[in-house]
Amino acid sequence: MEAGVVSAVWGKDIAQDVFQRWNQGFIFSSKEPLALVQYSGGPCAVLAPVQAFIFQKHLYEDRDNDNLDNEDWRKCESSVAQGLLISVLSHILINASSDGTCRLALLDSKAPPTSTVAMDTIAQVTPTQTGGVSGGLKRKHPSPLSEEKTSGIKREPSLSLPPLITGSSIEKLLEKVKRKEEGSGHGQESGCGLTLEALSSALRSVRERQQEEEEEEEGEDQELRAIDNKMMSSDALGQTGLASRQTGLTGSGDISSATTKTRAEDFHSKIRVCHCTDLGSTVRCIRENLSDFFSSYGVLLFLYSVVLTKGIDRISEEREETEQPLIDPLHGHGSQNLINLLLTGRCVTNVFDLDKDLGGMKLLGIPRQSTVGFLTILESLHYCEVGSFLKNPIYPVWLIASETHLTVLFSLEIGLTSEEDAQSVAKREFSRFSIEGDSCLMATDKLTDLLQKLNLETDSGYVEYMKKKLDKESAGIILLSDFLNEFYPFPMECERPKAFTVYHYNGLIHNNEDEIQLARGQAVALGEAGGTSSDISLINCLQTKWPDLIIHWDGGTDPKII
């Protein structure tokens, strides 16, 4: 792993308390099977984007959208939730990759602890065609007899058999050899080099193995149920309950626990890097090492994987403040660069559409319409303006940003999002050529470039005529309003839903007392601006997209975004 990864994430020094708050895995709530739990402030910069994509994929890719009103989508088995997590982590990595390859940071549990961070000497391994790894530490690979039952967690096979021979095929071979033996009176081979005695022994081993796995899984289920019951008790939010839940779910209590102060150096000494050549091998590698991402280092391992996949050089090129780490060294919050990287694959600081030129300095923005969106309370306070690509995503799922925390809001009403109309495109392109500091003013001599971008007439005589018409005072400035009135006087009116149901997720455990639960509300667009205040509230954040929106939440309490 190249040098600079640690400093790109943490800065020059790693604050121990900040590092500790980021020590958690991807853990699903026992009450809301699709909801990830956050234990401390900070990791929401990774957890919330992953959560948003989980909702998006589950609601709009993996289900029949015509049958969502009964809320059956909220009920799913743990295996379904794990499958969604694997898919989402894989696609975020691929989206950050420039060539379709990914690099996964995984735990090398056999690595001896060291007192120094040797990031450039960590073992690097590559998935083999069989789903294992080569080089560095040799990991266990899944037995063909138990790959599906173990959800990709590798186990050493207890029996060496020819490829594709399973319990059922052994039984068929055994019957065949018995028939031949009865006819010939002596031992026969099966045709695959195994005698009757060997086949009988193999079948017994397979059955014993299957029985052991069933007993082991039942024991794990009982342990998880006991842990969940403990978490629901009165001291569930204490350190003991947290440590028990994380250690119990990951099976990696020998590596770290939530009650033990973990040294960053020790964590970095246990990392190995797995190279994946495409989406398929990335999915397989994550599935086979899923326990790593459930461990108390899981969120950090995925963050490092994204940084490794993106590449330090490309991250440095895209973020404007190259000295600013992805995690704030003082407060532990994720930067806007990190949020944009996970949402769009681009590690930029800004939330406006496309790139802008500011006095010869290029400012990088969001390159295209995002799959899930982003809204921030800072826009209601006039600190920034979120562009259409994030405000109007492909699917009606949004990250909601307060000054210190990220939550998720989504709806089942796909009509809340749509492709941009021509006037919206014109506004965005106009802003690219606008005068510094004012997106509503453009220099007259930029008109030709703007018309060309919008595929409008660029004949020189026509352009000169329009310059005089739009800049009647010959001030060298064209107003956005005048340009739109001339070329796009009638914006396309999209039929937007006037009433719709929304759901809000806040994974931070202390904000939800003793459980994570989705808040449901009935939203109504009034048709007139409702106004905003300086309060840090969810409705003020949402009114940056829907100025006329009001929401009546079930239970009468507005969900918190801090």
**349: pLDDT strictly greater than 90:** yes
Long-range contacts of 312-315 (CB under 8 A, 24+ apart): 312/2, 312/4, 312/5, 312/8, 314/98, 314/347, 315/8, 315/341, 315/347
**209: pLDDT strictly greater than 70:** no
28-40: average pLDDT: 93
CATH of 422-488, one of 3.30.70.1170, 1.10.238.10, 3.40.50.10490, 3.40.30.10: 1.10.238.10
pLDDT score of 173: 52
pLDDT score of 129: 39
- Count the neighbouring beta carbons within 10 Å of the beta carbon of residue 140: 13
Q: Which residues, at least 6 apart from 130, have a Cβ–Cβ distance to it below 8 Å?
A: 141
pLDDT tens-digit map of 141-179: 333 333 333 333 233 232 233 333 444 555 555 565 556
51-62: average pLDDT: 94
**437: pLDDT strictly greater than 70:** no
Weakest mean pLDDT among 104-108, 116-120, 267-271, 308-312: 116-120
> What are the DSSP E strand ranges found in 112-270?
124-127, 133-134
Mean pLDDT of the chain: 78
pLDDT tens-digit map of 119-143: 333 334 444 433 333 333 333 333 3
**253: pLDDT strictly greater than 50:** no
180-195: average pLDDT: 50
Q: Where do you find CATH 1.10.238.10 in the chain?
A: 422-488
pLDDT score of 512: 55
Q: What percent of the chain has pLDDT over 90?
A: 53
pLDDT score of 435: 80
| Residue with the larger pLDDT of the pair 192 and 389 | 389
77-90: average pLDDT: 96
**342: pLDDT strictly greater than 70:** yes
Question: In the structure encoding, which two tokens stand for residue 339, read together?
Answer: 């949020």
| Residue with the larger pLDDT of the pair 187 and 104 | 104
**228: pLDDT strictly greater than 50:** no
Q: Identify which of 255, 355, 249, 339 has the alpha carbon closest to the alpha carbon of residue 297.
A: 255
Q: Which residues, at least 6 apart from 352, have a Cβ–Cβ distance to it below 8 Å?
A: 365, 366, 385, 386, 387, 431
Question: In the structure encoding, which two tokens stand for residue 28, read together?
Answer: 């699903």
